[in-house]
């Protein structure tokens, strides 16, 4: 399979942590060795007064933090060199596409005043979010009126030209920031236009929006969405219910942590079995998988879109590179891990403490089985029910080599250590 026919195994190279683009090639080699096939880069554009990566002042200039001051090459030539280095390492690369807002000090706030939403007093509106019942406004951002602007055609064509420019530079895909906050009609215009130029992929940031909005994004042409498996407690019904509504329409991407979340090493209080459980579960759940830079080394500092600098690179807390290599290697080999499929829970006598999920699809001769101890504090026993499988299946691979010699049979008893999880690949028939 080539990289675009395989499911995306994405490494988020957070640019503020690694500095100028000429240094990124060292990471590309490491990323490829870990088994990833995509690199995701947060915004690289020239920022506004706050310095936030997501507060863009100039879509056609590069953040000085990512330029080599000793290079005689232009900004865009340095960008193209980076993209060429990425491709030489056998990796595809996507950039963040931020079109819901600009920096408050973007020249467009004066040159194209009718491109922005306004408050009742006439001031440009800033986007924000509710936090524990309190509205938090992001004052460094100016919210774009992509829906009702009186100059909508020119505004939409501007976004089209930005996308085409970065396709010409060499990007293979776009991660649409706050995709749900952008009118679906605009996506239905932009995505086909981009794909006519080159077969780029579009990834929708859909987290936090109602499931109906996610489905609307799917119908607007996105190739992938992100799912919320990172936050599942392994018991409540919402995750499998959401997945059942989307998996036939669009593939999705799981992640154990992201640049927007706390580090898993911190959330878990450094408890390695808990970390391993979430890592393996998210790698099982959907066809796409993503980790951010530093996850493999147990970094503790949250990535910050304003304040992170290369000096925040940490000493290795723990090293799970071999686990990640094994996960990516298994994911690359088998079709069932490169497609979505029906995920169903297997009911058994100790369902309160042990989760058993089965993932299968008629297009594949393989089946995935997950057995997971929900408890982080105690062992749990489970007995595979007598009606578990219609016939014996053979274990052909797994995310963790300890399971390769175990028979999967009705009535088979397991004692799982605290937080222990197995993902097993089975051959049907």
Distance, in Å, from the CA atom of 363 to the CA atom of 335, rounded to the nearest integer, reads 9
Report pLDDT digits (tens) over 395-407. Answer: 666 676 555 545 6
169 and 283 housed in the same domain: yes
Picking from 12-26, 223-237, 319-333, 409-423, which range would have the lowest pLDDT averaged per residue? Answer: 409-423
207 or 238: which carries more pLDDT confidence? 238
Residue 85 pLDDT > 90, yes or no? Answer: yes
Q: What is the pLDDT of residue 207?
A: 85
Q: What is the pLDDT of residue 402?
A: 56
Query: Would you place residue 388 in the very low, low, confident or very high pLDDT band (cuts 50, 70, 90)?
Result: low
Residue 250 pLDDT > 60, yes or no? Answer: yes
Total of domains in the chain: 2
Query: Would you place residue 321 in the very low, low, confident or very high pLDDT band (cuts 50, 70, 90)?
Result: very high
Report pLDDT digits (tens) over 97-142. Answer: 999 999 999 999 999 999 999 999 999 999 988 777 888 899 999 9
Helix axes 211-219, 184-197, angle to 10 degrees: 40
Domain assignment present for 372: yes
270 and 168 housed in the same domain: yes
Q: What is the pLDDT of residue 396?
A: 61
Domain assignment present for 120: yes
216 and 329 housed in the same domain: yes
Q: What is the pLDDT of residue 72?
A: 98
Q: Which of 290, 321, 339 is the last residue of a domain?
A: 339
397 and 264 housed in the same domain: no
Picking from 92-106, 125-139, 200-214, 368-382, which range would have the lowest pLDDT averaged per residue? Answer: 125-139
191 and 272 housed in the same domain: yes
**What tokens were used for 76?**
């865009």
65 and 174 housed in the same domain: yes
Q: Name 393's bridge partners.
A: 408
262, exposed or middle or buried, with CB in 10 Å at 0-12, 13-18, 19+? Answer: middle
Q: Which of 339, 358, 388 is the last residue of a domain?
A: 339
Domain assignment present for 2: no
156 and 213 housed in the same domain: yes
3-state helix, strand, coil in the chain (%, to 5): 35, 25, 45
The whole-number average pLDDT for the span 363-383 is: 91
320 and 352 housed in the same domain: no
Q: What is the pLDDT of residue 408?
A: 64
Query: Would you place residue 422 in the very low, low, confident or very high pLDDT band (cuts 50, 70, 90)?
Result: confident
Domain assignment present for 100: yes
* Strands 134-137 vs 45-47: parallel, antiparallel or unpaired: unpaired
**What tokens were used for 68?**
């080599």
Question: 391: domain range?
Answer: 344-427
376 and 273 housed in the same domain: no
Read off the CATH number of the domain in which 21 is found. Answer: 3.20.20.80
Domain assignment present for 201: yes
223 and 363 housed in the same domain: no
161 and 259 housed in the same domain: yes
The whole-number average pLDDT for the span 251-268 is: 97
Q: What is the pLDDT of residue 399?
A: 73
Q: What is the pLDDT of residue 1?
A: 41
Query: Would you place residue 189 in the very low, low, confident or very high pLDDT band (cuts 50, 70, 90)?
Result: very high
Report pLDDT digits (tens) over 266-290. Answer: 999 999 999 999 999 999 999 999 9
Domain assignment present for 131: yes
Picking from 101-105, 113-117, 219-223, 411-415, which range would have the lowest pLDDT averaged per residue? Answer: 411-415
* Strands 252-254 vs 224-226: parallel, antiparallel or unpaired: parallel
Domain assignment present for 1: no
Residue 232 pLDDT > 90, yes or no? Answer: yes
Computed over every residue of the chain, the mean pLDDT equals 93
Residue 2 pLDDT > 60, yes or no? Answer: no
Residue 309 pLDDT > 50, yes or no? Answer: yes
334 and 396 housed in the same domain: no
Instruction: Compute, in degrees rounded to 10, the torsion defined by CA atoms 359, 361, 364, 365.
Output: 70
Across 149-206, the runs of DSSP E, i.e. the strands, are 173-176, 201-204
Domain assignment present for 109: yes
Distance, in Å, from the CA atom of 397 to the CA atom of 329, rounded to the nearest integer, reads 10
Q: Which of 339, 355, 390 is the last residue of a domain?
A: 339
The whole-number average pLDDT for the span 259-268 is: 97
Report pLDDT digits (tens) over 175-184. Answer: 999 999 999 9
Read off the CATH number of the domain in which 387 is found. Answer: 2.60.40.1180
426 or 312: which carries more pLDDT confidence? 312
């Amino acid at each position: 399979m080539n990289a675009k026919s395989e499911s995306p195994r994405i490494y988020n190279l957070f640019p503020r942590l690694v500095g100028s683009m000429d240094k990124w090639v060292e990471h590309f080699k490491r990323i490829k060795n870990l088994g990833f096939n995509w690199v995701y880069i947060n915004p690289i554009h020239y920022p506004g007064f706050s310095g936030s990566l997501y507060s863009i002042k100039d879509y056609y200039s590069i953040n000085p933090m990512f330029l080599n001051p000793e290079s005689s090459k232009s900004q865009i030539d340095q960008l193209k060199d980076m993209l060429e280095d990425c491709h030489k390492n056998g990796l595809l690369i996507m950039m963040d596409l931020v079109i819901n807002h600009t920096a408050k000090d973007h020249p467009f706030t004066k040159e194209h005043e009718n491109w922005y939403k306004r408050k009742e007093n006439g001031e440009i509106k800033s986007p924000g979010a509710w936090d524990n019942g309190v509205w938090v406004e992001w004052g460094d951002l100016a919210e774009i009126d992509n829906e009702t602007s009186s100059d909508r055609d020119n505004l939409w064509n501007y976004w089209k030209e930005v996308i085409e420019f970065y396709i010409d530079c060499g990007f293979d895909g776009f991660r649409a920031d706050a995709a749900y906050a952008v009118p679906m009609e605009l996506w239905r215009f932009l995505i086909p236009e981009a794909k006519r130029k080159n077969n780029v992929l579009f990834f929708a940031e859909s987290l936090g929006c109602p499931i109906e909005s996610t489905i609307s994004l799917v119908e607007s042409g996105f190739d992938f969405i992100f799912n919320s498996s990172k936050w599942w407690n392994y018991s409540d019904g919402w995750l499998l219910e959401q997945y059942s509504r989307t998996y036939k329409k669009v593939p999705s991407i799981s992640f154990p942590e992201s640049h927007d979340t706390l580090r898993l090493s911190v959330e878990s209080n450094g408890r390695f079995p808990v970390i391993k459980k979430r890592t393996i579960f998210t790698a099982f759940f959907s066809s796409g998988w993503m980790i951010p830079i530093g996850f493999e080394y147990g970094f503790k500092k949250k990535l910050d879109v304003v304040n992170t600098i290369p000096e925040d690179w940490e000493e290795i807390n723990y090293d799970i590179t071999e686990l990640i290599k094994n996960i990516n290697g298994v994911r690359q080999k088998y079709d069932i891990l490169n497609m979505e499929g029906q995920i169903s829970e297997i009911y058994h006598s100790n369902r309160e403490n042990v989760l058993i999920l089965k993932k299968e699809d008629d297009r594949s001769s393989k089946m995935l089985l997950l057995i997971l101890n929900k408890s982080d504090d105690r062992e749990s026993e489970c007995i595979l029910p007598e009606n578990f499988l219609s016939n014996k299946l053979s274990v052909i691979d797994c995310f963790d080599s300890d399971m390769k010699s175990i028979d999967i049979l009705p009535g088979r008893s397991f004692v799982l250590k605290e937080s222990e999880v197995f993902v097993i690949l089975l051959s049907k028939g």
